[in-house]
Chains A and B, each alone.
Chain A
Amino acid sequence: MLRIINAGPFCTLQGHPRRGQKKFGIPESGPADAVSMALANRLVGSPAYATCIEITLGGFEAEAESALSIALTGAEGAATLNGVPCDYHKTLFLNKGDLLIVRPPKFGARTYLAIGGQIQADTAFQSTSTYVLGGFGGYDGRKLQPNDMLRVDRDIKLTTDAMLATPQHLRPFIGAATLLRTLQLDADVPLNASDALFGGDASIASNSDRTGVRLQNLTLSLDHDGLMRSAPVAAGIVQCPPDGAPIILGPDAQTTGGYPRIACIIRSDRHLIGQLAPNARVRFVACEPEEAVAILKQKTDLIRTWVPDFSF
């Protein structure tokens, strides 16, 4: 059992994306950075999409109420165990009374904290992922707050056999600038209309969240009145509202939208969106559909060498 002392600005339980529910207007949710979550779960012997704690911009403090195995991955805010710095990408053992603190990261936005033995969470529409606007999934359908108690299904035995570390070459690089491989879309605007998207660096606006990452310092002028009949959208799609500031949709994005869909981040690069913190820089790199599938295959195969049940 883990007692939350402080959950920071936005901390939720996330598990498998919620699929097949768009007909009710229900988005996918699930981890903003699926790769980091899978790596955390691997270190505590859980499936890639087992329910995990997604901490946004640090500010997290919790006390073990029983012996636990845990692991931290993703954005590496300084973390301490009973005041002593602790590692990311390694299985850690907590005894009753141990205090874990995760501070805001210098780079990246989200830290994943996995707990061995399966975190108990509400299942809604076949997924434990929290969707705060809908008020379902995760921990009572809301973000975590002080004094919440996270229970695990199974007690774990603390043996050093279970000590694991993510292989060095599989640890994602999370820095001040991110490249996103992107397909241009011609569903709503001509193919070259969004060329300026690939021109230079954009930066991330502070009003970004799990529904979408808003870009600043990059303004597109589309030859489009900016409004259309509501059309399907999904995580990874880049929309351009009339003000010309593109939005990259995230896992909690609405199911349909009325702004032109100008581009889509390739499936295997979408985990990077989850690490785009306010003021970080991002650059879009043009990619072709066939190339995107080849990259997806390659990246999936690589991650599966360590997390066998992983898929994007």
Chain B
Amino acid sequence: MTGKVKDVGNSNPRVTCLGDDMLSVGVDNPVQAKFVTERMTNIPGLEDIVAGMDSVAIRFDPLVANKSVIEATLSRAANSVATMSEWGVGKIIEIPVTYGGDEGPDLPALSTALKLSVDEIIVRHTATLHCVELIGFLPGFAYLSGLEPSLATPRLKSPRTRVPAGSIAISGAQTGIYALPSPGGWSIIGRTNKILFDPEGPTPTTLEAGDRVRFVAQSK
């Protein structure tokens, strides 16, 4: 993600149907997803906006909303140009991580699979600036791009029923942060004690799409 965002708009935004009360539009990248989300306001009957990795969906009340207006607004927003400079305004947040041990139970297996020492994995994971592409799936769960390519790894064969809050995990080319205890199928490499979801807080999530994250290794 970092430095690789296309500097052009979506040439042919395709609006697809996700139900009698839901429409989705394709976007090129999370920058554009955020851009589209911010433009879908003040629309009568609009109930919710959900951004995905490469699409944004709108749920609406068909008896109140005008479907063709929503369709046109979505298409227009997705057609706009989102530039790297708009993306660059996100905060840079440091996340302290205890790697390995009880906090990162999958680190030894990962070391074997990737043919890299545990220390080398930690060095590579902390070396790059990661970017929050999306908060989604579960409250506060963050999907981050910017994983050093040599650390890419498939999902676990069988997901865990319970992953502790604060777990830092990788899957494919992404890092994920579990803000709450939940089921999960990613390889857990460490854990942070930083609070990432607080329903009482002024904003419930510590991270938001567009933020950049640096992981800092902590000794136990």
Name the contact of A24 in the complex, choosing from B61, B135, B143 (C-beta under 8 A): B135
Please report which residues of chain A, range 176-193, place their CB below 8 angstroms from some CB of chain B when the two chains form the complex. 183, 185-187
Residues of B within 8 A of A133 (CB): 138-139, 180, 182
Give the CA-CA distance A292 to B180 in the complex, in Å: 37
Given the known interface contacts A22-B49, A24-B204, A231-B52, the answer about A237 and B18 at a Cβ–Cβ threshold of 8 Å is yes
Q: Is the beta-carbon distance between B47 and A19 smaller than 8 angstroms? A: yes
Q: Is the beta-carbon distance between B62 and A20 smaller than 8 angstroms? A: no
Give the CA-CA distance A181 to B47 in the complex, in Å: 22
Report the contact-size class of chain B (Cβ under 8 Å from the partner). Answer: 35 or more
Residues of B within 8 A of A22 (CB): 48-50, 136
Residues of B within 8 A of A254 (CB): 136-138
Residues of A within 8 A of B182 (CB): 133
Q: Is the beta-carbon distance between A229 and B49 smaller than 8 angstroms? A: no
Q: Is B121 an interface residue, CB under 8 A from the partner? A: no
Residues of B within 8 A of A232 (CB): 18, 24, 50-52, 55-57, 136
Residues of A within 8 A of B55 (CB): 187, 231-232
Residues of A within 8 A of B20 (CB): 183, 264, 266-267, 289, 292-293, 296
Q: Is the beta-carbon distance between A234 and B50 smaller than 8 angstroms? A: yes
Give the CA-CA distance A265 to B137 in the complex, in Å: 21
Q: Is the beta-carbon distance between A234 and B180 smaller than 8 angstroms? A: no
Residues of B within 8 A of A23 (CB): 37, 49-51, 135, 208-209
Please report which residues of chain A, range 18-33, place their CB below 8 angstroms from some CB of chain B when the two chains form the complex. 19-26, 28
Q: Is A216 an interface residue, CB under 8 A from the partner? A: no
**Closest chain B residue to A261, Cβ basis:** B18
Residues of B within 8 A of A256 (CB): 50, 52-53, 134, 136-137
Q: Is the beta-carbon distance between A264 and B136 smaller than 8 angstroms? A: no
Shortest distance from the beta carbon of A302 to any chain B beta carbon, whole Å: 13
Residues of A within 8 A of B137 (CB): 25, 230, 254-257
Shortest distance from the beta carbon of B195 to any chain A beta carbon, whole Å: 13
**Closest chain A residue to B47, Cβ basis:** A19
**Closest chain A residue to B179, Cβ basis:** A25
**Closest chain A residue to B57, Cβ basis:** A232
Name the contact of A264 in the complex, choosing from B18, B48, B203 (C-beta under 8 A): B18
Residues of A within 8 A of B50 (CB): 22-23, 232-234, 255-256
Give the CA-CA distance A234 to B24 in the complex, in Å: 12
Q: Is the beta-carbon distance between B62 and A296 smaller than 8 angstroms? A: yes
Q: Is A236 an interface residue, CB under 8 A from the partner? A: yes
Give the CA-CA distance A296 to B64 in the complex, in Å: 12
Residues of B within 8 A of A255 (CB): 50, 136-138
Which of A21, A134, A135, A255 has the most CB atoms of chain B within a 10 A radius of its CB? A255
Q: Is B148 an interface residue, CB under 8 A from the partner? A: no
Q: Is B191 an interface residue, CB under 8 A from the partner? A: no
Residues of B within 8 A of A26 (CB): 139, 204
Give the CA-CA distance A233 to B53 in the complex, in Å: 12
Residues of B within 8 A of A236 (CB): 19
Name the contact of A136 in the complex, choosing from B19, B37, B51, B199 (C-beta under 8 A): B199
Residues of A within 8 A of B141 (CB): 25
Q: Is the beta-carbon distance between B140 and A24 smaller than 8 angstroms? A: yes
Q: Is the beta-carbon distance between A293 and B62 smaller than 8 angstroms? A: yes
Residues of A within 8 A of B63 (CB): 293, 296-297, 300, 311
Q: Is the beta-carbon distance between A134 and B134 smaller than 8 angstroms? A: no
Which of A21, A229, A264, A292 has the most CB atoms of chain B within a 10 A radius of its CB? A229
Give the CA-CA distance A255 to B51 in the complex, in Å: 9
Top 7 nearest A-B pairs (CB, nearest first) are A264-B19, A232-B57, A292-B20, A232-B50, A256-B136, A229-B53, A231-B52
